[in-house]
Chains A and B, each alone.
Chain A
């Protein structure tokens, strides 16, 4: 019992450290505008949105084990819907809720069609559906602004119920992005701790086995996809007023590669993997911004190196280190190993 208590204390300490660390990061991010240029502020803001997008992608990929190649299009849907709402005089909350609803509806449509297939076919269908969103955004001039996109998206004030928060400049909206992005991140963290996610991770390990436990795997994946689409669209909605501009390429297939690569870079196994990956990705992007096409090569080489050295991503590397140090302290498992013949399965 005392061991259990010690464990609980350790958990508590870890949790306190975690919350304190998260708060410190948020405060640091809020301070960014006071010591850097507006250009960097914009880049940090879009990195926050990328983190939310990567985390949303990880719900279906990291936990669900299903690769979607059209995830950026859901981000774009959220961006456009929020942009159109704001440009038509609606408030920030209206825009965000509309973006979320649009994400759920479009995501449910994606899932309905794509989940009929599995594996690579699922991936290709999501790619095709993402491209449909891209083409619609590109062609539907009256609503989306066509090729040049939708500009002038701005949030000047946010109604907080008791008071109204005035946003006089871009830095102020950047701070909103940090706080609301952190809320989304927190919501996804809570989601990652649910029984739903645990069972979802089991479907990733072995979907036939989960079905043999009586779980409706299709329903589980469907719900996971919709959750994933919701947060992707919310990330897009949050992003739209940041630069004031949304354009079709936000949803193109190459944009969908970004959350995938970020997740692989950081590690899909843990909650923080995509966060680390998206931040890394943003950093690489920022520091190679003047190198033109060389940046693609540099990004590629870094990715290749990480995936070769640490197939589980950067957080996977940490887990591996932890596990090996734990295993060193544990007596061998030979005592429980059977010497019996372990072959001999006929089908």
Chain B
């Protein structure tokens, strides 16, 4: 499980987004000179009100849509022209806003599938294997224990709660040993208890890799993030440590509007 397809990490940044514009076909300018950098072992939160361009930026980083202008560099190489699956194979892990798992498979199968998908990547020694792999089974059990979902290992994924699906999805990303983890609202729809568990897990998971995440739950953001970038109307209006962001007057105005109290970002 320790082999990384691309060898050791040399860059300082796992992700650089440089002056990225993105104009949709209908003329809507979703991103306007967006710039941010995520260090190789940094947990970076991306904040912004609805419609600020967070999801658009995520999709651009993942190769689902290409920027109108500007450059995105993922794990030391340009993301230009790369297909989503190719970026994943480069070392990106991602989760979707809605916990997107394989519904007709069990939790364990989902984890094993993620591992087995990785085994098919070029350069992996197990690429030509025919039988479902024992390594995948072992890795699946281990990750299930780490993520505290071993009690539902044999449950069909369609029966999971929303929060469980999101935890499972996160586990599926982590089992692939990504060097850059992109999480779109990892705690959305989770119960308080699940959120606490997710924060704990993300703290461990994020210690050894770069993480960029969007999140509306401010407790989670301040508990996890090393740095925070705030997006408003497609542009970055501030980047800094959580404390700096909390006290930034511009952020308060753009993001919090008039109903701000210290530390309360008014998540509805």
Contact = CB atoms under 8 A, between A and B. Distances in A.
Interface stretch (A117-125, A205-213, A285-293): A205-213
Interface string A298-334: 0000000000000000000000000000000000010
B134 to A, nearest CB: 11
A212 B88 contact: yes
Interface string B37-57: 000000000000011000100
11 contacts: A193-B132, A212-B84, A214-B118, A214-B120, A216-B85, A217-B85, A338-B164, A338-B191, A338-B193, A342-B161, A342-B189
Nearest to A335: B151
Contacts of A347: 55, 97
A211 B88 CA distance: 8
Cβ-closest 6 pairs across A and B: A214-B88, A213-B117, A338-B191, A342-B162, A340-B191, A214-B89
Contacts of A216: 85, 120
A214 B109 CA distance: 17
B104 A345 contact: no
A198 B111 CA distance: 12
Nearest to A197: B132
Interface in B114-159: 114, 116-121, 129-133, 152, 155, 159
A213 to B, nearest CB: 4
The winner among A199, A337, A340, A347 for most chain B CB atoms within 10 A is A340
B102 interface: yes
A58 to B, nearest CB: 16
Given A338-B161, A341-B189, A202 B131 contact: no
B190 interface: yes
A195 B133 contact: yes
Given A195-B132, A205-B104, A206-B100, A345 B116 contact: no
Interface of A: 193-196, 198-199, 201-202, 205-206, 208-217, 333, 336-347
A195 to B, nearest CB: 5
A194 B62 CA distance: 30
- Interface size, B (range): 35 or more
Interface of B: 50-51, 55, 62, 83-85, 88-89, 94, 96-98, 100-105, 109, 113-114, 116-121, 129-133, 152, 155, 159, 161-164, 172, 176, 185, 188-194
Contacts of A215: 85, 117, 120
Given A213-B176, A337-B161, 7 more contacts: A195-B119, A202-B113, A215-B85, A336-B152, A338-B163, A338-B164, A339-B191
Given A194-B130, A213-B117, A214-B88, A202 B50 contact: no
Contacts of B129: 195
B113 A213 contact: yes
Secondary structure at the B interface, as helix, strand, loop or mixed, is loop
A209 B161 contact: no
B102 A214 contact: no
Contact of B163 (A209, A340, A345): A340
A315 B78 CA distance: 49
A340 B100 contact: no
B94 A212 contact: yes
B189 A213 contact: no
A217 B191 CA distance: 34
Contacts of B190: 338, 340
Nearest to A330: B155
Contacts of B172: 213
B188 to A, nearest CB: 6
Nearest to A341: B189
Contacts of A196: 130
The winner among B88, B120, B163, B164 for most chain A CB atoms within 10 A is B120
Contacts of B109: 198
Given A195-B131, A340-B189, A346-B55, A209 B102 contact: yes
A196 B130 CA distance: 7
A211 B84 contact: yes
B131 A194 contact: yes
Contacts of A213: 88, 113-114, 117-118, 172, 176
Given A206-B102, A340-B194, A347-B55, A198 B116 contact: yes
Given A199-B113, A214-B85, A216-B85, A205 B103 contact: yes
Nearest to B126: A195
A301 B138 CA distance: 49
A334 to B, nearest CB: 10
A336 B164 contact: yes
B97 A345 contact: yes
B120 A199 contact: yes
Nearest to A214: B88
B93 to A, nearest CB: 9
Contacts of A336: 152, 161, 164
A344 B188 contact: yes
A345 B131 contact: no
A194 B101 CA distance: 21
A333 B163 contact: no
Nearest to B184: A345
A206 B191 CA distance: 26
A205 B106 CA distance: 13
A328 to B, nearest CB: 14
B98 A345 contact: yes
Contacts of B163: 338, 340
Nearest to B267: A344
Nearest to B59: A347
Contacts of B114: 213
